[in-house]
Amino acid sequence: MASSSRYDTNKVCCNSHPDAPLIEDYRAGDQICSECGLVVGDRVIDVGSEWRTFSNEKNGVDPSRVGGPENPLLGGSDLTTIIGPGRAGDSSFDNFGVSKYQNRRTMNSSDRALINAFKEINAMADRINLPRTIVDRANNLFKQVHDGRNLKGRSNDAIASACLYIACRQEGVPRTFKEICAVSKISKREIGRCFKLILKALETSVDLITTGDFMSRFCSNLCLPNMVQRAATHIARRAVELDIVPGRSPISVAAAAIYMASQASEDKRSQKEIGDIAGVADVTIRQSYKLMYPHAVHLFPQDFKFATPIEQLPQM
């Protein structure tokens, strides 16, 4: 077996054919000269994956000898031991057939509560198509609340829902309480209470929501063209600047602006259609629309192409 070349002591090559490419035999761990077949290196480390694991294996045997990725949010960094099921008559069972070793003991109640909450946050995020960054922020918020023991007596599901709502606000993609409530098992009132308690306990804050935060998503779900979306955004912004809708929530103002812009275009949408997407009642849209209608001339952008003149817009 040859070692290194006379030209470069740090390069593994064949002494007789120093320029010949080497063939790596991963199974045997050898490096072989492609010209003469001489083994010039052995015990090569295979940096590939150890096993190929398929999720649809019929026998249910997982050949992998490594666990899942570490979770820094758990107390033991997720480095726990899972005891597999033993065979019948195996020494892992006592005389009464009861397993001597329990997996429950390998994880404390704190980590178990965290894992269940993380699963709930991930499930809620999947239902409304939220990205991984928001899930990670919500998990961190829940971890801080859990470690600080600031919300004793509140259910973990309610805290998890509130953490997801805060994470959406902080990441700049806010969701309404009704949207979070729709994918959660908790009432809107309970989520709102936990939301306020978490902000106070963690001494954090969230940016105020505006009409523009929801406009593109609402218009996209209503299949409205870009021209109507731009007009609705302009109408809502002008209504807030002129203080036409004092005390109205940004969601109801956005819904009323979409209704006004759609009624003036060829793509008209009813109050019920908009209310179902925005999560507000028809009467709420009408109340905001009533305040905006007398000032409609000053709300529409100058380049808007009217399919229905302002004078013919619906009057509530």
Write out pLDDT tens, residues 214-252.
Answer: 898 899 999 999 999 999 999 999 999 999 999 899 999
Residue 97 has pLDDT above 70, yes or no: no
Residue range 53-75: average pLDDT?
59
Helix (H, G, I), strand (E, B) or coil at 287: helix
Q: Would you tell me how many other CB atoms lie within 10 Å of the CB of residue 82?
A: 8
| Residue 73: other Cβ atoms inside 10 A | 20
Closest CA to 292 of 310, 274, 278: 310
Please tell me the predicted confidence (pLDDT) of residue 53.
54
pLDDT band at 25 (very low <50, low <70, confident <90, very high): confident
Better pLDDT: 61 or 182: 182
Query: What is the predicted pLDDT for the residue at 152?
Result: 83
pLDDT above 80 (res 68): no
The per-residue pLDDT for 164 is 95
Q: What is the mean pLDDT of residues 85-111?
A: 62
Q: How far apart are alpha carbons 238 and 236 in whole angstroms?
A: 6
Higher-pLDDT residue of 66 and 301 is: 301
* % residues pLDDT > 70 (the chain): 77
Q: How confident is the model at residue 204 (pLDDT cuts 50, 70, 90)?
A: confident
pTM: 0.67
